[in-house]
Structure 1
Amino acid sequence: MKNSYKRLGNYIREVNIRNTELTVTKLLGVSIQKVLIPSIANTVGTDMSTYKILKKGQFAYGPVTSRNGDKISIALLKDYEEAIVSQAYTCFEIINNEDLLPEYLMMWFQRPEFDRYARFKSHGSAREVFDWAEMCNIELPIPSIETQREIVAEYNALQNRIELNNQLIQKLEETAQAIYRQWFVDFEFPNEEGKPYKSSGGEMIESELGPIPKGWSIEKIENISTIKAGGDKPETYSPNSNNNCHIPIYSNGIIKEGLYGYTNQAKYPTNSITISARGTIGYCCLRFEPFDAIVRLLVVIPNNTVHLCYLYFLLKNYIFEESGSVQGQLTVPDILAIKFIRADDTILTKYQINTYILLSEINFRKSNNDHYSQMASILLSKMAKI
């Protein structure tokens, strides 16, 4: 199979065009997610004429690899006709797009095997550098242009499905958030006649948290839920799901909603809420399946499922840093002591029914995206066997 591999240097050339006329103002940087994003660098007083011009279909990568962790910062410009990047980046283009598609090459760069190769081939004592010569020495399978187009089209179809799902997820989340605010912040939940309560003259009473609808009360989280702290990493563990380990383990991270790995036994039930206790303090997730949780993660288990969605959005919108109780770490007593406005169960039941449908659809779309991402990863791995 290696006999069919070809040297990349025969298909690419370096590009070094400077912004001497200051005609290009769109400044981008390469993220470790391998996309070009607007730069957040402070450019006040910077001579932008020394920056490099990058045109659509060209690549930019950061040759210094020691500062990026496991991934190499490399990206293909697709969303703009031209932009500028820091002179620290190496820019290059494909000599003939009828021999090698830029999108096909970018797929190769997306592979974790490329990242490992580039780190292995990086040199230097003070800082490790994956230089241009090493980039040119990469060997990869380059099939016919027709085959490349088919592979790229299949990969893009998966990415487009993910993007469409992400757009729908965002709209569903915005809708669910708007309903929560309308019902429990603005108190415009539907009254017995189906009209907005407060603006239709619904009676309000004073409370320690301000005016609230008559019949509602102020309570603490401990009255409607059980709070537990995550424990040690389970002895039975796998980084990937398999027949023996299929129960998800969650940590306090935000990437993949804190997914840490998998085990064989769940400690917490479905329809629970997790809250990050360290790092991204207060980051909340609703869990739709049994799971395990490790240190720095708190688990909120509603005593009654009718409180689930309300509790989730209550905690999701709670500003823990301003509560006066958080000193770099969130604890079980911190959560238990939170005071909230409790609606009557009739309103909460209606809210639970309406909102749970939205949140379930969000969870379904996220599961689809996980499946599409796995399919895309399989497609990337198969490139080595073309």
Structure 2
Amino acid sequence: MKNNYRKLGDYIQPVDVRNSDLKVSHLLGLSIDKCFIESIANTIGTDFRPYKIVKKGQFAYGPVTSRNGEKITIALLEEPECIISSSYAVFEITDTSKLLPEYLMLWFSRPEFDRYARYKSHGSVREIFDWDEMCRVELPVPPLNEQQKIVDTYNAITNRIRIKQKINENLEKTAQCLFEELTKDKENFETKTIEEISDAVICGKTPSTTESKYWGNEIPFITIPDMHGSNFIHTTERYLSIAGKQSQEKQTLPKNSICVSCIATVGLVSLTTTESQTNQQINSIICKEGISFYYVFMLLKQMTDELKRLGAGGSTTLNVSKSLFASIKLQLPNEENMNFFDKKVSSLFSKILINEKEIEKLEALKMTVVSQISKR
């Protein structure tokens, strides 16, 4: 153990208070995102007396780790008391003048803690990170003022992210209002297929993963996880090399192409911000000149249910093939109205993109603050 590290068991104690008098009715669960969430369980006829009470400032975690992939479900309650399933373990810090709950939660937020908890989990049928193992966790415990400084820095970044997200929500609502205004009267609209409005409809492809020369840091390689939570794709988990791009040049997408997830997870819609390629789960549109890619982007975002219906096709796995995707019919305004709409929303989306990029940098900075704890 490092000189400045301490065993967590010296600072925490288990809590087991049951809801025997049914005074607490707010039922929550835990997410692998390390936060409390509203329970989605069917609780009709459930007896809540065996459920555990969690108070503000206390922690709860799921000892069974084999169900969560590489993450452990653990969270600090930052709101009034609630009840959770008795399958969770609840604990608290014995002396908050020595260890801050918020500082400890930052320690738990590190990917290294997830890996540690999985490594230390044991059991033949299901793997468990039990209370004894939790108590054996080692962490740096600097003076309280240093802990508070780290927490304050993290919170300041988090608040900045929230502000940027709120600004983007408002910008998106404004764009949506403009879209609804344009589409409320479709008398002069015409119907065209995706193929008819596109210079190209492209189904992605994955270069050989055994060819190391195809993979590098030059060309974003878009997969479905890269499409979650953003209008624009500005970074990806994986990148191709120039050689990888050249190995399948026809799959290359220019900036402002519209990517639509079409296999398994169907209906995510995003815009490229630079020359990119995608895997085979994504169909992409390169709009013809005179067709507003912002209009088509927003229209497709309204069509999630239709895309899922098309992808069902009697199979257990949703799949909207390239040919089926290209045949989807869209209703478009005349060119004059489309151009007018495009000019109005382009400035909104430019601001959204700037904010998304800043949020991404702030998220990276936030994780840097968390990772620095272990280097103290």
What are the superposed Cα offsets for residues 280-308 of structure 1, whole Å, 9 maximum, x if unpaired? 21211112222111111111111126421
What are the superposed Cα offsets for residues 61-81 of structure 1, whole Å, 9 maximum, x if unpaired? 000000011000000000x22
**What is the distance in 2 between the residues matched to 1:132 and 1:57?**
19
Q: Which residue of 1 aligns with 2:176?
A: 177
Amino acid at match of 1:227: V
Amino acid at match of 2:29: G
Q: If you compute each CA radius of gyration, which structure gives the higher value, 1 or 2?
A: 1
For the residue of structure 2 that corresponds to 1:286, the secondary structure is strand
Q: Which residue of 2 aligns with 1:342?
A: 332
Give the CA deviation at 1:339: 2.0
**Counterpart check, 1:250 vs 2:222:** yes
**What is the distance in 2 between the residues matched to 1:100 and 1:252?**
40
Moved more, 282-291 or 107-116: 282-291
**What is the distance in 1 between the residues matched to 2:146 and 2:70?**
30
Contact 1:320–1:326 under 8 Å retained in 2: no
Q: Which residue of 1 aligns with 2:103?
A: 104
Q: Which residue of 1 aligns with 2:37?
A: 37
Give the CA deviation at 1:373: 0.8
Give the CA deviation at 1:171: 1.8
**Counterpart check, 1:61 vs 2:61:** yes
Alignment match of 1:320 (pick from 293, 306, 319): 306
The aligned runs of 1:250-329 (5 Å cut-off) are: 250-253=222-225, 254-255=227-228, 259-265=236-242, 267-304=252-289, 306-318=291-303, 319-321=305-307, 324=310, 326-327=312-313, 328-329=318-319
Amino acid at match of 1:364: I
Q: Which residue of 1 aligns with 2:145?
A: 146
Q: Which residue of 2 aligns with 1:191?
A: none
Contact 1:306–1:352 under 8 Å retained in 2: no
Moved more, 162-171 or 365-374: 162-171
Give the CA deviation at 1:159: 0.9
Structure 2: segments with no counterpart, 5+ residues: 246-251
Question: Equivalent pairs: percent with the same residue?
Answer: 39
Q: Which residue of 2 aligns with 1:167?
A: 166
**What is the distance in 2 between the residues matched to 1:110 and 1:323?**
38
**Pairwise CA RMSD of aligned residues?**
1.9
For the residue of structure 2 that corresponds to 1:299, the secondary structure is strand
Contact 1:250–1:291 under 8 Å retained in 2: yes
Alignment match of 2:367 (pick from 374, 377, 385): 377
The aligned runs of 1:61-210 (5 Å cut-off) are: 61-78=61-78, 80-184=79-183, 186-187=184-185
What are the superposed Cα offsets for residues 179-209 of structure 1, whole Å, 9 maximum, x if unpaired? 112102x13xxxxxxxxxxxxxxxxxxxxxx
Moved more, 361-370 or 17-26: 361-370
Contact 2:28–2:83 under 8 Å retained in 1: yes
CA gap of 1:357–1:52, structure 2 versus 1, over 3 A, is same
Matched positions, count: 354
**What is the distance in 2 between the residues matched to 1:300 and 1:336?**
9
Q: Which residue of 2 aligns with 1:194?
A: none
Amino acid at match of 1:320: E
Amino acid at match of 2:217: C
**What is the distance in 2 between the residues matched to 1:371 and 1:333?**
38
Moved more, 110-119 or 288-297: 288-297
For the residue of structure 1 that corresponds to 2:367, the secondary structure is helix
For the residue of structure 1 that corresponds to 2:91, the secondary structure is strand
**What is the distance in 1 between the residues matched to 2:148 and 2:218?**
36
Give the CA deviation at 1:322: 6.8
Alignment match of 1:221 (pick from 182, 194, 197): 194
What are the superposed Cα offsets for residues 90-113 of structure 1, whole Å, 9 maximum, x if unpaired? 000001111000000000000000
Contact 2:283–2:325 under 8 Å retained in 1: no
**What is the distance in 1 between the residues matched to 2:193 and 2:326?**
7
Alignment match of 2:205 (pick from 216, 231, 236): 231
Structure 1: segments with no counterpart, 5+ residues: 188-210, 239-243
**Counterpart check, 1:330 vs 2:320:** yes
For the residue of structure 2 that corresponds to 1:333, the secondary structure is helix
Amino acid at match of 1:261: R
